[in-house]
């Protein structure tokens, strides 16, 4: 199995920032994956998986770990009855396309989540009232200690959260769907995508929502907008003029620019509303957000 050194992770994140991985590999079967997990354990090297990098902020200095990108059989889809089996590396769009072609509904909520199945399980991705926990039957997870199937409850799936830790890789999932007319699925997806495009900067380099919505009458986006942050820029990163809970790469952005924007946003939300915003984006590598004082 080929293990590369110094692969720039900016190529694998939708924001387009992040430094090199100490080691990088693309397993295409569970056997290859197990071999790599064993190799990393022997080397005493941490393991992290990237999906489509659509919720990922990677340290500019890089990541001292074996970074995995799943492909081949680990990104394939099969359908039996009303159950869709998908590899952890499968893009949501591919799984949704296959579900629609088979006349299976229930995964439409994922149409605007530009990630993979594994990334969706990691943070229980969701939109429009649906989320992964509602359709997941079980999840196969591989780790150096061994592999096994887990229910969503066993993985602790809750609002934008699972208990998964780096080193545990989502290899495959089973989604329980229900019969639905493909034309109806198509119409719903079109409507959801239209709503999404009207509200969010879908044609820019972003990593989705920066902060989770706080327990407050205002969403994180509305709160940051009220703080006057729309369009605020540091280096090559800018708080989206369209939606204040998004950060755009306006050209040449670095992760440190995005982090500086996040720190400023948290400071202002705390000052104006007494709210401590918690980030939704996953941080990879040695990254710390400054504490609020």
Ligand X SMILES: Cc1cc2nc3c(=O)[nH]c(=O)nc-3n(C[C@H](O)[C@H](O)[C@H](O)COP(=O)(O)OP(=O)(O)OC[C@H]3O[C@@H](n4cnc5c(N)ncnc54)[C@H](O)[C@@H]3O)c2cc1C
Determine contact, residues 229/268, Cβ cutoff 8 Å.
yes
Q: CA 20, CA 11: separation in Å to the nearest integer?
A: 10
Q: CA 45, CA 167: separation in Å to the nearest integer?
A: 10
Q: Which positions from 64 to 103 touch ligand X by CB under 6 A, shown as an x/- string? A: ------x-----------------x---------------
183 versus 208: smaller Cβ distance to ligand X: 208
Active site residue 209: yes
SS3 87: strand
**Window contacting ligand X (CB under 6 A); options: 18-26, 49-57, 151-159, 262-270:** 49-57
Active site residue 219: no
Phi and psi torsions of 269, nearest 5°: -65, -40
Tell me which of 16, 18, 20, 51 binds ligand X, using CB under 6 A: 51
Q: CA 94, CA 52: separation in Å to the nearest integer?
A: 13
Q: How far is the CB of 213 from ligand X (least distance, A)?
A: 11
16 versus 115: smaller Cβ distance to ligand X: 115
SS3 151: coil
DSSP assignments along 176-212, one per residue: E-EE--HHHHHHHHHHHHHHHHHHS-TTS---S-SBP
172 versus 273: smaller Cβ distance to ligand X: 172
Q: CA 110, CA 144: separation in Å to the nearest integer?
A: 30
17 versus 200: smaller Cβ distance to ligand X: 200
For ligand X (CB under 6 A), the number of binding residues is 34
Tell me which of 21, 25, 56, 155 binds ligand X, using CB under 6 A: 56
The reply on whether position 122 binds ligand X by CB under 6 A is: yes
Residues 6+ apart with CB under 8 A from 187: none
Active site residue 225: no
How many alpha carbons fall within 13 Å on the CB side of residue 95?
37
Q: CA 129, CA 124: separation in Å to the nearest integer?
A: 12
Q: Which residues between 142 and 201 bind ligand X (CB under 6 A)? A: 164, 169-170, 200
3 versus 270: smaller Cβ distance to ligand X: 3
Q: CA 199, CA 122: separation in Å to the nearest integer?
A: 25
Q: Which residues between 9 and 28 bind ligand X (CB under 6 A)? A: 14
Catalytic residue among 160, 176, 196, 222: 160
The reply on whether position 259 binds ligand X by CB under 6 A is: no
Q: Which residues bind ligand X (CB under 6 A)?
A: 14, 48-56, 70, 88, 112-116, 118-120, 122-123, 125-127, 164, 169-170, 200, 202, 206-208, 282
Catalytic center residues = 160, 209, 280
């Amino acid at each position: 199995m080929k293990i590369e050194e110094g692969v720039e992770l900016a190529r694998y994140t939708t924001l387009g920032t992040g430094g090199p991985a100490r080691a990088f590999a693309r397993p295409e079967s569970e056997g290859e994956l197990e071999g790599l997990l064993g190799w990393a354990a022997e080397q005493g090297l941490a393991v992290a998986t990237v999906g489509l990098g659509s919720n990922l902020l990677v340290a500019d200095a890089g990541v001292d770990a074996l970074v995995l990108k799943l492909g081949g059989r680990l990104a394939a889809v099969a359908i039996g009855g009303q159950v869709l089996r998908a590899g952890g590396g499968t893009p949501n769009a591919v799984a949704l396309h296959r579900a629609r072609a088979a006349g299976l509904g229930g995964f439409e909520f994922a149409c605007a989540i530009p990630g993979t199945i594994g990334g969706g399980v990691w943070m229980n991705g969701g939109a429009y009232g649906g989320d992964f926990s509602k359709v997941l039957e079980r999840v196969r997870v591989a780790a150096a200690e061994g592999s096994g199937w887990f229910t969503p409850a066993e993985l602790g799936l809750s609002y934008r959260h699972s208990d998964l830790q780096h080193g545990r890789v989502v290899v495959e999932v089973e989604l329980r769907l229900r019969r639905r007319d493909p034309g109806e699925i198509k119409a719903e997806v079109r409507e959801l995508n239209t709503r999404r495009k009207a509200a969010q900067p879908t044609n820019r380099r972003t990593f989705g929502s920066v902060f989770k919505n706080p327990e407050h009458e205002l969403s994180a986006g509305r709160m940051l907008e009220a703080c006057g942050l729309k369009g605020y820029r540091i280096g090559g990163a800018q708080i989206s003029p369209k939606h204040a809970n998004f950060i755009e790469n306006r050209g040449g952005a670095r992760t440190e620019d995005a982090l500086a924007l996040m720190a400023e946003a948290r400071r202002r939300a705390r000052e104006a509303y007494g709210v401590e915003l918690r980030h939704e984006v996953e941080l990879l590598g040695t990254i710390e957000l400054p504490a609020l004082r």
